[in-house]
Structure 1
């Protein structure tokens, strides 16, 4: 098995992991995110901890996709490839900040067990503020930054033909829609977790799953000249040798 084929398989697995971990984390966080008085209630701390673990896996997988794909992408456009790696690192960092904010709510709930009156009310307020903080990280990380990263990767895939162009176009559409949706949420047009928000996220979800399946099943298109760096070097060498022969 060639190194490029191994890269495609690893990248495909990582993309699938990001989707599973993202959905799992959001589902497991639901009791905390939807209950304004979570810090004073019985809580579902174990479930929240599992959600945090899912999001930690998500952050690692997001970082991994950038690192794994870089050797392939740099031959197609080094600046964009570096930008994709940095964008994935930024996305992972924002996700980690969101994890900390959610776990801080659990800490407040533990302290709230011995609090009464004004102390309890202040802890509820602090808990709601931390949930709001998580919501903003969710908007900017897995929405704005994800959309930008999707546009960069899909653009590179489109121009280099590493995958079929219709698949790359799906990524371009998905990245554009999720950025537009995040902008709409930012200005209060609709809620982030809503029918409109979910519909806008479907194309980017379809892009990542389809890309993962494509990479696992067939890898990169052989006709795209994967490993362009080596190919370019050979071409330069051939031209240099030809020039030298002409001089002689």
Structure 2
């Protein structure tokens, strides 16, 4: 498989996370709030299973491209993305248990998992992936810079939610999460449409070529 194929697969999987996570959140929220629409919550759980595998898949697809410039960051991203996917699946298990008749006292467990998973892990992912993408020159620098800006903002949102100062699904939390959402969406769209940009080693190869041309001219 070529680098371009891997990059486009990663881009498609990133966009799949949006296509699954947004409807899933909308469908399960009424059930978690007051127990209504259990069928929608069950459908949301199916979408979140797809979401979990898409999360892990982005890391698997990008790992061969990233490890050439920073294996540590690449491995860290795989680990963080795997943790995020695991937390999503735990949340799915909790929702399905409640749909199946378990006590609604499990709802706070879901909320806690949601805070640690989609609420916090994307910030850690960005802190690992954005520098690796810059080093690998996969996309224009402005795209990962957006991730570097959004990472601390999302961490602040998560801390405020943990302290009870901000609701997880409030307007302020959404505003603080917006740069990370834009980073992941633009990254996915770029990779799907354009594939990998300047490949790792391209800069070094270009420098060698320039030196050779200079030697020939001299």
Same fold flag (TM > 0.5): yes
Aligned-partner Cα distance in 2 for 1:61–1:18: 6
Q: Which residue of the other structure, out of 160, 163, 176, is the alignment partner of 2:152?
A: 176
- 8 Å CA contact 2:136–2:198 kept in 1: the answer is no
Q: TM-score, normalised by structure 1?
A: 0.78
Q: Which residue of the other structure, out of 140, 146, 159, is the alignment partner of 1:164?
A: 140
- What corresponds to 2:195 in structure 1? 219
Q: Which residue of the other structure, out of 37, 45, 68, is the alignment partner of 1:75?
A: 68
The alpha-carbon deviation at position 165 of structure 1 amounts to: 1.1
The alpha-carbon deviation at position 62 of structure 1 amounts to: 0.3
- What corresponds to 1:7 in structure 2? 6
- What corresponds to 1:202 in structure 2? 178
**4+ runs deviating over 4 angstroms:** none
Larger radius of gyration: 1
- What corresponds to 2:52 in structure 1? 59
- Name the count of aligned residue pairs: 205
- What corresponds to 1:46 in structure 2? 39
Cα deviations by residue, 1:31-50 (Å, 9 ceiling, x for unpaired): 21221xx2xxxx42221111
SS at match of 1:89: helix
Q: Which runs of 5+ in 1 are unaligned?
A: 110-125, 236-248
Within a 5 Å distance, the mapping from 1:209-248 to structure 2 comes to: 209-222=185-198, 224-225=200-201
Q: Which residue of the other structure, out of 119, 127, 130, is the alignment partner of 1:151?
A: 127
SS at match of 2:3: helix
SS at match of 2:45: helix
Q: Which runs of 5+ in 2 are unaligned?
A: 209-218
Aligned-partner Cα distance in 1 for 2:76–2:149: 19
- What corresponds to 2:114 in structure 1? 138
Aligned-partner Cα distance in 1 for 2:199–2:48: 37
- 8 Å CA contact 2:13–2:54 kept in 1: the answer is yes
- What corresponds to 1:96 in structure 2? 89
Aligned-partner Cα distance in 2 for 1:136–1:145: 13
